[in-house]
Amino acid sequence: MNPPLSRQLAAAPVPLAATPADARKLAEGLMEVMSALLAVIERETELVRAGKVREAMALEPKKSELSRRYVGTIAHLKNSQSYLAGATPDLLAALHRHHDTFRAMLQVNLTVLATAHAVSEGIVRGVNAEMQRRNIPATYTASGQRAAPGPRNISPLALSRSL
């Protein structure tokens, strides 16, 4: 049995950047991963905005793999940060700027996904409320107030994701 990925990453020693060439290679790797991940996230955002959620879900394996690579590269960068700050501060500043842009685009993606989730949840709740309203008999108490429905009058809502 293989140990969990988090334990594998913690156990594997991450080499430090020791030369300007190592630092440049690390920076290029990080920018490459961020650019690839950003392209997938932008495509996902476009698909979700267009209502093509099934197609957006198909991007999940690639997004997961790129996210895993991103986390590994960030760990490598954190281990080499003291060297980068001393030897190549301009490169580190460029990485910070690129990362700020990356974070802003992630925020847009998260906003779109949260909106899509809220809309879909609102639709499901609305359908459920309408079903319950139609299933509940209109009865009144002795004082003329509408009676609360009993548990046998409330039916659950079942969804099929395979359609």
pLDDT tens, position by position, for the chain (163 residues)?
455 544 444 444 446 777 888 888 888 899 999 999 999 999 999 999 898 988 999 999 999 999 999 999 999 888 888 888 888 888 888 889 999 999 999 999 999 989 988 998 898 888 888 887 777 777 778 888 877 777 777 777 777 766 5
Write the CB contacts of 48 (distance below 8 Å, at least 6 apart in sequence): 56, 112, 113, 116
Q: What is the pLDDT of residue 111?
A: 93
pTM: 0.69
Q: What is the pLDDT of residue 10?
A: 46
Q: What is the pLDDT of residue 19?
A: 82
Q: What is the pLDDT of residue 124?
A: 86
Q: What is the pLDDT of residue 15?
A: 60
Alpha helix locations (H) across the chain? 5-11, 20-49, 53-57, 60-79, 81-87, 89-135
Q: What is the pLDDT of residue 46?
A: 93
Q: What is the pLDDT of residue 146?
A: 78
Q: What is the pLDDT of residue 3?
A: 52
Q: What is the pLDDT of residue 12?
A: 46
* Interior angle at CA 10, CA 7 and CA 13, nearest 5: 135
Q: What is the pLDDT of residue 9?
A: 45
Token pair belonging to 160: 């099929």
Q: What is the pLDDT of residue 41?
A: 93
